[in-house]
Structure 1
Amino acid sequence: MLIYFAMTTDIPPWVFKAIDKIRQRFLWRRRKDAKGGHCLVAWGKVCHPLELGGLGISSLLELSWALRMRWLWLQKTESNKPWADLPIQVLAKA
């Protein structure tokens, strides 16, 4: 459901940071109390594709941006669809 919401809405960066903290804690300790000492690899490295040595976990901020750009593309290329007239927010700074 977050994916569809992120596709049409400009979610503030602090929301992605909060979700990333939850994902990091689960990955490192499988609970809420993971601290820096338990993180064996930087989160940025974990988000790299498998081919580049990461785990392939997607960056939610980048995914949200890509989905909004896709939505703009679909509005231009499929303007006859009923959802093509829905507004979209794309001007916020990431």
Structure 2
Amino acid sequence: MIIYLVMAVDFPQWAHKAVDKIRRGYLWKGYIDVKGGHCLVAWSTVCRPLELGSLGIANLQQLSWALRLR
């Protein structure tokens, strides 16, 4: 659902951080909130493509730019 919102609206930076915080928490602990000690890999590494050996989770800021340019 976030994809459709990001396509239509310029998401502010604080909203990107809030959504990424929820995604990180779900990935590492299964909860909404997680502290830094539970994160096993840097988020920028996790957001790399599968071809580079990462999980392939989309970076929301780059995804929103690409969808609006389309």
Instruction: Give TM-score, length-normalised by structure 2.
Output: 0.90
Aligned length: 70
The answer on whether the counterparts of 1:45 and 1:53 sit within 8 Å (CA) in structure 2 is no
Q: Which residue of 2 aligns with 1:54?
A: 54
Structure 1 segments, 4+ long, off by >6 Å, are none
The answer on whether the counterparts of 2:25 and 2:31 sit within 8 Å (CA) in structure 1 is yes
Task: Structure 2: state its 5+ residue gaps.
Answer: none
Structure with larger RCO (C-alpha < 8 A, sep 6+) = 1
Instruction: Give TM-score, length-normalised by structure 1.
Output: 0.69
Q: Percent identity?
A: 61
Give distance in 1, aligned partners of 2:33 and 2:69.
36
Deviation at 1:5, TM superposition (A): 2.3
Deviation at 1:53, TM superposition (A): 1.6
Give distance in 2, aligned partners of 1:5 and 1:40.
29
Task: Indicate how the Cα distance of structure 1 residues 68 and 33 shifts in structure 2: closer, same or farther if over 3 A, else same.
Answer: closer
Deviation at 1:40, TM superposition (A): 0.7
Q: Deviations over 1:46-70 (max 9, x none)?
A: 0011111210000011111101100
After superposition, residues 19-34 of structure 1 pair within 5 angstroms as: 19-34=19-34
Give distance in 2, aligned partners of 1:5 and 1:50.
25
